[in-house]
Amino acid sequence: MDDDEAIARSLDGDLAAYEALVARYSALAHRTAYMLGAGDEAEDVVQEAFVKAFRHLASFRRDAPFRPWLLRIVANETHNLTRSRGRRAELALRLGATADVAAPDDPEGTAVATDRRTRLLAAVRALPERERQAVVCRYFLQLSEAETAQVLDWPVGTVKSSTHRGLARLREEVGNEFA
């Protein structure tokens, strides 16, 4: 069952079809909410976003891709949450356990890489909000410029300039030894 079929069946009231759609995008939705600042409240945000997406499914244009439409709702919900908390969205990103696995034949190289990753992550966290959002969408969520524009509801030009500025700042912060 592809997205379109799942959506068609959901519109007919088939909740099992919608359940399949939710399961399909659950991980990405959590990742998006979490990385855009929902932090530990990502679960609440994601559930709410899926409920709202279902209620508004009739307004979804069927020839458009579902993924960015859904992520836009997730981003909206995240935004509402962070705004209601009245402070800058937290970006409590942590490297997973796999990030520190050492290459046994090159402990020094591993240590350098780990240190650089940690510094790069800290630099992403410290970016101004817009630049951080652009960088998170483009690289951490691997969205295209057009998808990022849709998810964040910005013009593509803003995505481009924010990404560019963010990259420049990161480069300044950690250098660009791989360029």
43/104 with CB nearer another protein? 43
Query: Token pair 């949450």 is at which residue?
Result: 81
Number of residues that bind another protein (CB under 8 A): 89
The single-letter DSSP state of residue 87 is S
Cα separations (Å) of 40 from 27, 79, 91, 113, 152? Answer: 14, 14, 10, 28, 21
Q: Distance between CA atoms of 16 and 79, rounded to whole angstroms?
A: 29
For residue 41, state whether it binds another protein (rule: CB under 8 A).
yes
For residue 42, state whether it binds another protein (rule: CB under 8 A).
yes
Q: How far is the CB of 67 from another protein (least distance, A)?
A: 10
Q: Distance between CA atoms of 157 and 42, rounded to whole angstroms?
A: 29
> Which one among 7, 34, 127, 132 touches another protein, defined by CB under 8 A?
34
For residue 7, state whether it binds another protein (rule: CB under 8 A).
no
Q: Which of residues 91-110 bind another protein (CB under 8 A)?
A: 93-99
